[in-house]
Amino acid sequence: MEYFLELFFSGLTRGSIYALIALGYTMVYGIIELINFAHGEIYMIGAFVGLVVAGVLSSFGFPAASIVILATIAAVIYAASYGYTIEKIAYRPLRGAPRLSPLISAIGMSIFLQNYVMLSQTSDFLSFPSLIPEFGFLKNYESMIGSTDFLIIAVAAIVMVGLNLFIKFTRMGKAMRATAQNRKMAMLVGINVDQVISATFVIGSALAAIGGVLIASHIGQINFFIGFIAGIKAFTAAVLGGIGSVPGAMLGGLILGWTESFCTGYVSSDYEDVFAFALLVLILIFRPSGLLGKAPIQKV
C-alpha cells in the first residue's frame, strides 16, 4: 500500500507537469490545427532562463525567496516572447499553405532551438538550483510526497483553474473559443484573429515555462535535449485527452503520469519511455479523437 501510494503521488506530480505543457499543444491545435513541434523547446528554454536568472541573481546575493519569484517570472516572460516570435517567423507566413508545410517548419524550428541552446550554453547537464525550499509538513506522508511534489501539484491545479476561468469569462477567452470554432466567422464578427493566435501562443508558452522551472527544480538538472522527450509526452497527454480540449489535456496528463509511474514501478524501469510511446500509438489507433475530444468532421 505504501509503495502504491508512493507511485500514485509520483504519477500525480509527473502528470501535472505533462498537463501544464499539454495545454500549450492543445490550445494551439484547437485554434490553428498545427502541432507546434517547437513547444517542447519553449519549455526547455523556460528552464534555461530560470537557471541563468537564478544564477545571476544569486551571484549578486539576492535572498532566496526573491530568487524563486524573479526566476520564474523571467522564465515566463522569456518563454512567452519566444512563443510569440516563433509564431510570427515560422507559422504566420505559412497561413493557407498545405498542411505539411507548417508542420515541417515547426520541426525545423525545434531542431534550430535545440542547437541554438546547445551551442550557446553547453551540451552537458547543468545542475539546476533547488529553488523550492524544503518545508516540513504533512509529516505522515513525507516519504511519499515531498514539498516540491506538493508545490508542483498545487501550482498546476491553480494554473488550470485560472486558465479555465480565463477561457470562459474574459473577452480574449471568448474570442479564442470563437476562433477555434470557425476562424472565418470570427474574422467576420470583428475578432482580430492574428491577435488571438498570438495570445494563444503566448499563454501556452508561459504555462510551459512554469512547468519547465518546476520540473527542473524538482529533478535538479537540465540540458538542451529535455524539451524533446517532454514535448512528445505532453503531446501524448494532449492526444489522450482529446486534442483541442482544455480539460482533456489535464485528464490526459494525469492518466499518462500514472501509467508511466505504475508501469515503471511494477513492470520495468528500462522501458519507461516505451510505455508512453506505446500508449500514444494505441490511443491514436483506437480512439484518434481522444477521451474528451470530438471526432473531426470530414469536410468535402
Partner 1 sequence: MEGLKKSILASLWFMFLTLPIMGVFVNTIDKSVTWHLDRVLCVGVAAFVLSFLWRYMLEQKDKGRQEEEASSVEKVTFFNKLISSPKFYWPALVGVAVFAIAFPKLFSMYQVNVMTTALIYVVLGLGLNIVVGLAGLLDLGFVAFYAVGAYSYALMNMYWGISFWVALPLGALLGAICGILLGFPVLRLRGDYLAIVTLGFGEIIRLVLENWGSFTNGPAGISNIARPEFFGFAKGFLAQINFMYYLMLVLVIFTIFVVNRLKNSRIGRAWQALREDEIACQAMGIDKMKTKLMAFSLGATWAGMVGVVFAAKTTFINPASFTFLESAIILSIVVLGGMGSILGVILGALVLILLPEYMREFSEYRMLIFGAVMVLVMVFRPQGLVRDVRKKIDISAVKKALGGAHE
List the x/- string, 279-298, binding to partner 1 by CB under 8 A: -xx--xx--x-------x-x
According to CB under 8 A, which one of 52, 144, 172, 178 is a site residue for partner 1?
52
A 10 A CB-CB count for 38 gives 29
Listed in sequence order, the DSSP H helices in the chain are 2-32, 39-59, 64-86, 100-120, 147-169, 171-181, 183-188, 193-219, 226-241, 246-266, 272-286
**Closest-CA residue to 20 (of 167, 216, 212, 196):** 212
Q: What are phi and psi of 222, to 5 degrees?
A: -135, 155
Task: Tell whether residue 116 is a contact of partner 1 (CB under 8 A).
Answer: yes
Shortest Å distance, C-beta 161 to partner 1: 29
Query: What contacts 216, CB < 8 A, 6 or more positions away?
Result: 47, 50, 51, 128, 222, 226
Shortest Å distance, C-beta 1 to partner 1: 30
Task: Tell whether residue 207 is a contact of partner 1 (CB under 8 A).
Answer: no
Q: For residues 99 and 184, which CB has a smaller minimum distance to partner 1 in the complex? A: 99
Task: Tell whether residue 273 is a contact of partner 1 (CB under 8 A).
Answer: yes
Shortest Å distance, C-beta 103 to partner 1: 6
Q: For residues 165 and 274, which CB has a smaller minimum distance to partner 1 in the complex? A: 274
**Joined grid coordinates for residue 248:** 482533456
Alpha-carbon gap, residue 293 to 86, rounded angstroms: 27
Instruction: Compute the CA torsion angle 149, 152, 154, 157 (nearest 10 deg).
Output: -130
Task: Tell whether residue 209 is a contact of partner 1 (CB under 8 A).
Answer: no
Q: For residues 132 and 153, which CB has a smaller minimum distance to partner 1 in the complex? A: 132
Size of the site for partner 1 (CB under 8 A): 70
Q: Which stretch binds partner 1 (CB under 8 A): 105-113, 134-142, 209-217, 259-267?
A: 105-113
According to CB under 8 A, which one of 31, 67, 126, 159 is a site residue for partner 1?
126
What SS3 string covers 127-180? ECCCCCCCCCCCHHHCCCCCHHHHHHHHHHHHHHHHHHHHHHHCHHHHHHHHHH
Determine the residue type at 101.
S
Chain residues that interact with partner 1, rule: CB under 8 A: 33-35, 45, 48-49, 51-56, 58-59, 74, 78, 81-82, 85, 89-90, 93-94, 97-105, 107-117, 119-122, 126-129, 228, 232, 235-236, 239, 270-271, 273-274, 277-278, 280-281, 284-285, 288, 296, 298, 300
